[in-house]
Amino acid sequence: MAYAVKEVFKTLQGEGAQAGRAAVFCRFAGCNLWSGREQDRATAVCRFCDTDFIGLDGEGGGRFAEAGALADAIADCWGPAPERRFVVFTGGEPLLQLDHALLAAVRERGFESAVETNGTQHAPEGVDWLCVSPKAGTDLALTAGDELKLVFPQPGLDPATLEALAFRHFFLQPMDGPDRAANTAATVAYCLAHPRWRLSVQTHKAIGIP
Ligand SMILES: C[S@@+](CC[C@H](N)C(=O)[O-])C[C@H]1O[C@@H](n2cnc3c(N)ncnc32)[C@H](O)[C@@H]1O
Ligand SMILES: Nc1nc2[nH]cc(C(=O)O)c2c(=O)[nH]1
Ligand code: SF4
Ligand SMILES: [Mg+2]
């Protein structure tokens, strides 16, 4: 299996329950809910995406012919530190490409793995930390995992409809964009009124790191 990767970079996980933890981010190219082209945004299923996931031209990006080669690139990006090795597979939609061979290859190199997914695709066995971020107008294939992280507010997707799902953590993350300040205030108010939900701030944006 070959992998199309936009970028591989090391930073701190900015979001959710693992926020603050050093991680290599492997960002796969492509998504099933938006082409990634600005001219298609208004008609896409997912219209608020904050990410460039088109092409292979980012830092550390490229086409990797097999799992071992991509896992080597991830390990090189992490560097020599032996403890708490952590890779976050994201995109684009990582579950269009992530497979058992790649999960096994990063585990062999000492990594815990996490996935950031829109939840519309099934996940291979062996993901250590599954973060599902549902999108309005889609059907969830993944209804269990470690954290559910809903971008808020999304017209047509009431958080209450997700509360019965089998996740350990329930986060609301303010939708970034022109209305970020108002969306943050609305998210704070929702968490205060519905304590099942916790606020996830995109801390990397707040402090200006990738
Ligand atoms: C770029 S997505 C890639 C992974 C996957 N396609 C997904 O949607 O979960 C990574 C995370 O950023 C979130 N996200 C995307 N655009 C956002 C925005 N404008 N404001 C806040 N979070 C956003 C997504 O919901 C997801 O949790
Ligand atoms: N620092 C940092 N944390 C993140 N957590 C999820 C991200 C993503 O784009 O999937 C992301 C990202 O792009 N940067
Ligand atoms: S599903 Fe994820 S990667 Fe795809 S457009 Fe939406 S936020 Fe971006
Ligand atoms: Mg991001």
> Residue 207 — very low, low, confident or very high, per pLDDT cuts 50/70/90?
very high
List the CATH number of the domain containing 88: 3.20.20.70
15 lines ligand 2 (CB under 6 A): yes
Give all strands of the β-sheet with 144-152 in edge-to-edge order.
Answer: 62-64, 3-12, 22-28, 86-90, 112-117, 129-132, 144-152, 166-174, 198-199
Active site residue 131: no
Does position 19 have pLDDT exceeding 90, yes or no? yes
Cα of 154 vs centre of ligand 3, distance in Å, is 13
Active site residue 77: no
> Residue 132 — very low, low, confident or very high, per pLDDT cuts 50/70/90?
very high
Ligand 3, atom 3, lies closest to the CA of: 92
The per-residue pLDDT for range 154-197, each reduced to its tens digit, is 999 999 999 999 999 999 999 999 999 999 999 999 999 999 99
Q: Is 176 annotated as a binding residue?
A: yes
| Number of helical H runs and strand E runs in the chain | 4, 9
Instruction: Residue 100: name the closest of 74, 117, 73, 125 by CA.
Output: 125
Q: Which protein residues touch ligand 3 with a CB less than 6 Å away?
A: 31, 33-34, 46, 49, 51, 53, 91-93, 118, 135
**In terms of residue numbers, what domain contains 47?**
3-207
Q: What is the ipTM of this complex?
A: 0.99
Q: Calculate the average pLDDT of the chain.
A: 98
Domain count, the chain: 1
Find the helix or strand (DSSP H, E) in which 41 lies: none
